[in-house]
Amino acid sequence: NIEILNLDMKPGNTLKVKGKISADSVGFSINLGSSSRDLAFHFNPRFNESVIVCNSKRSDSWQTEHRDHHLPFFRGSTVKFFIEMLSDKFRVKLPDGHEVYFPNRHSYHKINYISIVGGLKVISFRL
């Protein structure tokens, strides 16, 4: 698991993530926000449900989740994908070119916090 508290991501920035998904992974998540209690964007591929769940969190309360049933991630594979912060939404470009959009519900202008947890071994990530 990775946790960074001084990320300094702003609209127009793209986070490039490369990693290896463990062979027995049930999923992983990437969380962006101001703290673990306040997330602008929760990106959560779940293998047991064949879905990507996106959500946000305010004061430790999850909000309405968005489910995308396009899951181009596979256990045991190495993946590369991009998370772009725009002023009004987040755009994730998946390994096969498909894109997932999620609104910037709380109008974040700066993301300080990132955590990467679960069955993704990070090879590299760059902002």
Domain range annotation of the chain? 2-126
Burial of 86 (0-12, 13-18, 19+ CB in 10 A): middle
With tokens 């490369």, the residue in question is: 18
State whether the Cα torsion 100-104-110-113 is positive or negative. Answer: negative
* Per-residue pLDDT tens over the stretch 91-113: 999 999 999 999 999 999 999 99
Query: pLDDT value at position 15?
Result: 98
Residues 6+ apart with CB under 8 A from 121: 19, 20, 21, 22
What is the dotted CATH code of the domain comprising 2-126? 2.60.120.200
Query: In angstroms, rounded to a whole number, what is the distance separating the alpha carbons of residues 61 and 105?
Result: 14
Three-class SS of residue 114? strand
Three-class SS of residue 65? coil
Q: Is the pTM of this model over 0.85?
A: yes
Query: pLDDT value at position 98?
Result: 96
